[in-house]
Every structure is written in structure tokens, then in C-alpha cells.
Amino acid sequence: DTGVSQNPRHKITKRGQNVTFRCDPISEHNRLYWYRQTLGQGPEFLTYFQNEAQLEKSRLLSDRFSAERPKGSFSTLEIQRTEQGDSAMYLCASSLSLASSYNEQFFGPGTRLTVL
């Protein structure tokens, strides 16, 4: 399977614990995005990387959230001191940047986080 992969697919944790999710984009894609989706809503943008550089973070990304893409390939999203409001589906997407026009973002299957 050469699509975007995410691990784990499901995570149940207790409030206050730290969690880390991993995203492996499509191999030649240089752009990587993290989104969060709650029930009944569309995905909300969290952050974006071009290669290893994190170029934008949404205000939704509080200080408890940190994302990295150290070698410009896979990315991790860490949530510290989880809260019940962090329960959501965390989606990763990747795309290949070209000089112009839109480049389709391919989404991974997501990591569903439940904070008890």
C-alpha cells in the first residue's frame, strides 16, 4: 500500500497522559498536513509542513500540541496532558507541491483518540 499511513489507528488514554501519533506520507510528497475532525464537523486544519519546515500552525494548536517532521518524511503529532476535549479523529494528509494550481491532498485513515 503506497498511500498515507497513520499509527495507531485508535488510541484510548486517560486524561493527563501524553500521546504521540505518527504519519507516513506518500513517499515523494513534500507537503504534509495535520487536521482534526470531531463528530458532525469537517476536518479542521492544525498545521502544515513543507519538507521539514513547519510553516503554519492554527490557533487550534495549543501549547500542549507539538508536531515535528525531522527529516522531511514521516511526522509525529504529540499531545501533552490530554483533555477530554482532545477526543477526535486526527487526520494526516500529504501532497506534492508544483509551481501552480492545486495539488490533491491524500488523506490517511486517521487516528481516533478517546480521552477518558
Q: What CA–CA distance (Å, rounded) separates 61 from 75?
A: 16
Judged by CB under 8 A, the residue of 13, 45, 54, 57 near other proteins is 45
Pairing type for strands 44-50 and 53-57 reads: antiparallel
Is 85 a binding residue for other proteins by CB under 8 A? The answer is no
Considering only residues 18 to 37 of the shown chain, the ones binding other proteins according to CB under 8 A are 31, 33, 35
Give whichever of 80 and 103 is closer to other proteins, judged by the CB atom. 103
Is 105 a binding residue for other proteins by CB under 8 A? The answer is yes
Do 30 and 97 contact (CB within 8 A), yes or no? Answer: yes
- What is the number of H-type helices and E-type strands within the chain? 0, 11
Judged by CB under 8 A, the residue of 16, 17, 56, 62 near other proteins is 56
Do 49 and 75 contact (CB within 8 A), yes or no? Answer: yes
> Where does this chain bind other proteins (CB under 8 A)?
31, 33, 35, 40-45, 48, 50, 55-56, 91, 93, 95, 97, 101-105, 107-110
